Amino acid sequence: MPNASVLEQKQKQVAELSEKLGKAIVGVVVDYKGTTVADDTALRKELRENGVDYFVVKNTILGRAIDGTDLADMSFALEGTTAIALSGEDYTAAARILCKFAESHESFKVKTGFLDGKVVDVETIESLAKLPSKEVLLATVCSAFQAPIAAFARAVQAIVDKDENGAE
């Protein structure tokens, strides 16, 4: 049986992970087996730059953190090497980056994930990865709003130009 300090440390890890999971809007669980240090470093850098928290976690710790929650259905994926990416703001960043990485690294696999506290399958994560980033979506919406205003401004300018040319 583990001594009291080891047990206390593991309970603290479970509590911290439970808190992180509760704050995240999206999470992606991956099998990172076979990833080189250089590739892992580059992956972590890209995730960090996009506001995604990525870390390796023991299956037992993650299992205890999700036990009794809506995420308990993820327990089937807690085998082998496990890392998790969590985001509290961007729904697509973690999925987009990890799925792109998995395409170019054969041994790296997406296992499962969650979205707004509900477990989702790999196909859903891959669909999420194909969505444009939040910034691209906002730019698209802004241009859609701007187009009619710009057309109206051009029409008004044409009327002004016509009146100026006709008044001469």
Tokens (6 digits) for 114: 């969650």
The answer for 123, left when phi > 0, alpha when psi is -120 to 50, beta otherwise, is alpha
pTM of the predicted model as reported, rounded to 2 decimal places: 0.74
pLDDT at residue 157 tops 60: yes
Q: Given this structure, which CATH class describes domain 4-131?
A: alpha beta
> Could you report the per-residue pLDDT of 23-59, keeping only the tens digit for each?
889 999 999 988 899 999 999 999 999 999 999 999 9
> Could you report the per-residue pLDDT of 102-143, keeping only the tens digit for each?
998 888 999 999 998 898 888 888 888 887 766 776 777 777
Q: For residue 97, what is the enclosing H or E element?
A: helix 93-104
Nearest residue to 78 (alpha-carbon basis) of 124, 111, 120 = 111
pLDDT of residue 42: 93
